[in-house]
Structure 1
Amino acid sequence: MNPFVNVEINQAVATITFFHPQSNSFPSSQLKQLTEAITQLNDNSQVSVIVLKSEGEKAFCAGASFDELLQVDTIEKGRAFFSGFAHVINAMRKSNKIIVGRIQGKTVGGGVGIVAACDYTFAHTDAAIKLSELAIGIGPFVIEPAVSRKIGMPAMSEMTLEATEWKTAQWAHKNMLFTRLFDSYETMDASLDVFVTQLSSFNPEALFEMKKVLWKDTEHWDTLLLERAEISGTLVLSDFTKNALNAFKKK
């Protein structure tokens, strides 16, 4: 299949599904599509809940597109690419809908930031997570505020510095990145349907006010995440990163 970002609306619930043949990784064009999909739903007063999911069972999101990262040859291009993740997280943060994530498989790098920006998450026990950025010469600078907000700085430090190690879904659940954990896709999806159906029956004005409370003191992220994108955009130009990305692609 070709890459896509789709939106389906069923009564008060909008489901956003994304897909990329390379383990649901994100090129900049799809980051833009996802940002627009989330933002456009702000104008739909009939929708009060968003379910964010990816296609397939093996991977929820492999993070940034390595193919596109290898093509970055200026600071401006690097900043623009990593700003894509900044825009997605800020769109999720500023959305007037509660966002529920469905995390069915492994998640790496920027994908962990997207999970962290969800307001509530359902995850499968196969959904291991990893922040591998230091291993390729950059760092999880853009997503750090979102991830640290969920799991705390000690767990964030552990994940970041253990850049080659997968953290289990149980670890993610214990550290509050995953709200609910299931060992069956069928049970997870049934529970997710029940939850979002009930959630969407609540007063949408109350949900929106609660959303603002949940994200209090993050207004500066509009600037902060773009500043972080410049750090990553500069580091991606290093020989270390180029060599690491090429070595990874040859595996």
Structure 2
Amino acid sequence: MMNSNDGLIRVRYDGQVARLVIDRPAKRNAMSLSMWLSVPAILREIRAQRSVQLLIVEGQGDDAFSAGADIEELQSASECKQAAENYVDAIRAAEAALGDFDLPTLACIRGFCMGGGLELAMACDLRVATSDSRFAAPPARLGITYSTSSTRRLASLVGESRAKELLFSARVIDAFEACQVGLINQAYMTANFEEHCAAYVGRMLRNSQRSIRNAKLIFDSIRHGAQFDSSEVRELRVRGFSEVDFREGVDAFRANRPANFTWGRG
């Protein structure tokens, strides 16, 4: 856990799952500069725990995942170029560290998910939300600009035309529309949200973590322009046939039983 007078990012461990909690409920979990700066180191700490197989990112409480960057701190960034550069670089480093995290990541969203909070959610592999959640990409309301990587992620999720509409209008959309356009994967009723999230996570944890991590690697290569297997990816695919997870998967299929995959588990 990295603490700050301006909010904190907490980490909780629950067996194979780590939870990165944005904890500043008095400001709807708005991200301060110190919180942005803490994210890369916290992710390195989580990755060092060999038992962890999946990361959940969530906000403290039910009101907000994160309402975005701290407006007062954004104002202070206008005082000099160096302050603006420091802020832009801190946000970029945080969302890049989350986007590059090699374990599967899931944003569990309650309430408001706006601005910088949406950038963090989009940097996760998957997003689920309560049915009363609200989303917005509001830089145009403030006269500032999303990073190229966040803009690319938004366009990748909802398509370029829809991404432009959301950025140009800066309008707030509800969970139903967010799910309909592909910004989130699922929306669940608030009363049963924890149970649905647990079931969602459980399905992923029961599958081969080797397959999931390699799929992440391939998605990354596609993002960087790959159209065919590199020699490294081909070798990963070939080697899979001699790995323990493949033997277990085949045995489980033949015996009509759940597989007990063990690859990569600490």
Q: Which bin holds the TM-score, normalised by the shorter protein?
A: 0.7 to 0.9
Secondary structure of residue in 2 paired with 1:77: helix
- The whole-number CA distance in structure 2 between the counterparts of 1:55 and 1:180 is 20
Say which of 57, 64, 67 aligns to 2:69: 64
Shift of 1:168: 1.7
Q: Between the two proteins, what is the percent identity of the paired residues?
A: 16
Larger Rg: 2
Distance 1:175 1:5 in 2: 30
CA deviation after TM superposition for structure 1 residue 125, in Å: 1.7
SS in 1 for 2:191: helix
Does the 8 A contact of 1:128 with 1:166 survive in 2?
yes
1:146 aligns with 2:153: yes
State whether structure 2 residue 85 is matched by structure 1 residue 85: no
Matched with 1:126 is 132
Paired residue secondary structure (1:64): coil
Question: Residue 231 of structure 1 aligns with which residue?
Answer: none
Change (3 A) 1:219 1:31: farther
**Closer, same or farther: CA 100–94 of 1 in aligned 2, 3 Å:** same
- The one of 205, 208, 214 equivalent to 2:219 is 214
Contact residue 48 and residue 207 of structure 1 kept, 8 A: no
Aligned 1:96-111 pairs, distance under 5 A: 96-111=102-117
Query: What value does the CA root-mean-square deviation take over the aligned residues?
Result: 1.9
Please list every run of 5 or more consecutive structure 2 residues that lacks an aligned counterpart in the other structure.
226-266
CA apart distance, 1:219: 5.4
**Hey, what does 1:6 align to over in structure 2?**
10
Amino acid at match of 2:14: N
CA distance in 2, matches of 1:33, 1:218: 26
Aligned equivalent of 2:59: 54
CA distance in 2: counterparts of 1:118 and 1:80, whole angstroms? 23
Following superposition, the deviation at residue 37 of structure 1 comes to 1.7
User: 1:60-99 deviations in whole A, cap 9, x for unaligned?
Assistant: 1111111111112222221211222211221122111100
Mapped to 1, the partners of 2:200 and 2:126 lie a distance apart of: 10
Match of 2:21? Answer: 17
**Contact preservation (8 Å) 1:122, 1:188:** no
CA contact (8 A) 2:55 2:106 kept: yes
**For residues 92 and 55 of structure 1, what CA distance do their matches in structure 2 show?**
18
AA of the residue aligned to 1:146: R
Q: How does 1:22-61 map to 2 (within 5 A)?
A: 22-61=27-66
User: Which of 144, 154, 159 is equivalent to 2:166?
Assistant: 159
Shift in Å at residue 47 of structure 1?
Answer: 1.0
Moved over 6 A (4+): none
CA contact (8 A) 2:53 2:103 kept: yes
How far, CA to CA, are the matches of 1:47 and 1:67 in structure 2? Answer: 36
Q: What's the TM-score, normalizing by structure 1?
A: 0.81
Cα deviation digits, residues 77-134 of structure 1 (max 9, x gap): 2121122221122112211110011111112111111111111111112111112211
